[in-house]
Amino acid sequence: MAVEIREIAQKFERISAHSHIRGLGLDENLRAKDVADGLVGQKKAREAAGIIVRLIKEGKMAGRGILIAGPPGTGKTAIAVAISKELGKDIPFVHVSASEFYSTEMKKTEALIQAMRKAIGVRIKETRVVLEGEVVGLDYNMVPNPYNPTQKIPESATLTLATTDEQKTFSVSGRLALQFLYQGIEVGDVIVIDKETGRVAKVGRSKRAKKKFDLGDYDLVDVPRGRIEKEKEFTYVITLHDLDEANARRRGGIFSLFEPASREIDNEIREAVDEQVKKWVEEGRAELVPGVLFIDETHLMDIELFAFMNRAMESEMAPIIILASNRGFARIRGTDIVSPHGIPLDLLDRLLIITTEPYSEDEIRTIIEIRAAESGIMLSKEALDKLTELGVKNSLRYAIQLLAPAYELAKLRNSGKVELEDVERAASLFVDVGQSSEYLKKWEEKMLGL
């Protein structure tokens, strides 16, 4: 009997605004290339960011921050993301909007503290005793489920592991046996079992396994060498906020069953975590990994948050703070003082400021091409010319936002390529900020006001 295999769902994939960025696109002399690592133009800003990366890696950015200032749509967020890419994949990167600090669930300063501690990593090195090998035998002892007698669950199991040098058989508990079932572990898989915690990790499918699969997401791996029971060093990065939450749960400080839920964490807990981390660092078991906290829409922060941040930057456990602003001279929220970018002067004095400038027509064209390629959208020359024209006349963001609607219109024509007519129709259906303002003026009398 033939078995029909049908694709029942497409893989979900979200293309974010900056998913194409791989780095700052600099050469060995920190000179920006025209187009590299997903970035276009803004050479002066990218070269300045390259120096910032060098300073961070050399530990010379303590107590200081960065401000990226420029008009909307000039790549401020893109440069911040590129900085995080240059620092490495293990470096925590936290992107928040200043409006997120104003929450009914916690104080605004608490929200800022949590964001800062999410951006500080601790790289922990641990040596664990593990069982590692290829599963060559796995037999379950099944018993009726006490809560549902029609089902059976494993009471225990007999596991046989093998390496290139030895083979051993173990009797394992029902808890471990359940992990084997949930993870779909079977003969031919290579696994690692932490002896202390009982955690099971499936490494992949053994290259010498007899049973291979035509379908399925798995990696082929070599059979482990040496002894089955061994000491193995693991390295992983966890944030200070993760440690705060873990200690708060252990002390019953948050998520209590008998008290209202609170997401705030006591300073006592944080101080205890800091002392523990310092101890680990002194013992050589861990190292601090200062990450990046990127705060967009900085002008929405008030004087209290700015003052708190100014003090927090002096802490030895502070991340690299990058602010972004598209404001000129603006009033500092919570005061009547007008200051550059809406930021207090005493904080501005501690910031290295990077400026961005509007893109040229050629740069806009290149950016649209990159975004279309990243989204898998084919553009005709005429469509690209029209989008470039809209990017220059209206805004780059508007032109990029029209890509997806224009592609949907192309698909309605049973075409895989966006043509000029698709872009023109999309532009007629969706307006930009300027057109929206004209619309409000036209129908001002009929619109509701305050």
- Blockwise average pLDDT, block size 10, the chain, 450 residues: 38 51 85 84 90 82 81 86 83 87 82 89 84 90 80 86 91 86 86 83 80 55 88 82 84 47 76 88 84 88 89 79 90 90 88 90 89 87 92 88 91 90 90 76 72
Residue 259: per-residue pLDDT: 45
Residue 407: per-residue pLDDT: 92
- The span from the CA of 72 to the CA of 78, in Å, is 12
What 3-state class would DSSP assign to 337?
Answer: coil
Binning the chain into helix, strand and coil, the percentages to the nearest 5 are: 35, 25, 35
Residue 62: per-residue pLDDT: 63
List helix spans (H) across 101-202.
108-118, 174-183
- The span from the CA of 91 to the CA of 35, in Å, is 25
What 3-state class would DSSP assign to 32?
Answer: strand
Residue 13: per-residue pLDDT: 40
- Written as one string, the DSSP assignment of 64-121 is -EEEEE-STTSSHHHHHHHHHHHH-TTS-EEEEEGGGG--SSS-HHHHHHHHHHHTEE
Residue 104: per-residue pLDDT: 63
What 3-state class would DSSP assign to 37?
Answer: coil
- The span from the CA of 130 to the CA of 197, in Å, is 10
Angle, CA of 292, 297 and 300, to the nearest 5°: 115
Are 319 and 116 contacting, i.e. CB atoms less than 8 angstroms apart? yes
Are 261 and 270 contacting, i.e. CB atoms less than 8 angstroms apart? no
> Which residues, listed in sequence order, are joined to residue 174 by a DSSP beta bridge?
none
- The span from the CA of 15 to the CA of 403, in Å, is 12
Residue 368 parent element (H or E): helix 361-374
List helix spans (H) across 252-360.
267-282, 303-312, 345-348
Q: What is the dihedral of CA 388, 393, 395, 396, to 10 degrees?
A: 20
- The span from the CA of 123 to the CA of 231, in Å, is 19
- Which candidate, 206, 182, 207, 218, places its Cα nearest to that of 133? 206
Residue 281: per-residue pLDDT: 87
- Lookup result for tokens 């079992």: 193
- The span from the CA of 253 to the CA of 247, in Å, is 8
Cα atoms in the Cβ-side hemisphere of radius 13 Å centred on 150: 0
- The span from the CA of 112 to the CA of 182, in Å, is 39
Q: What is the dihedral of CA 272, 273, 278, 284, to 10 degrees?
A: 130
- Which two three-digit tokens encode residue 212? 């291979």
Tell how many helices (H) and how many strands (E) occur in the chain: 14, 19
Residue 211: per-residue pLDDT: 58
Residue 59: per-residue pLDDT: 73
Residue 420: per-residue pLDDT: 93
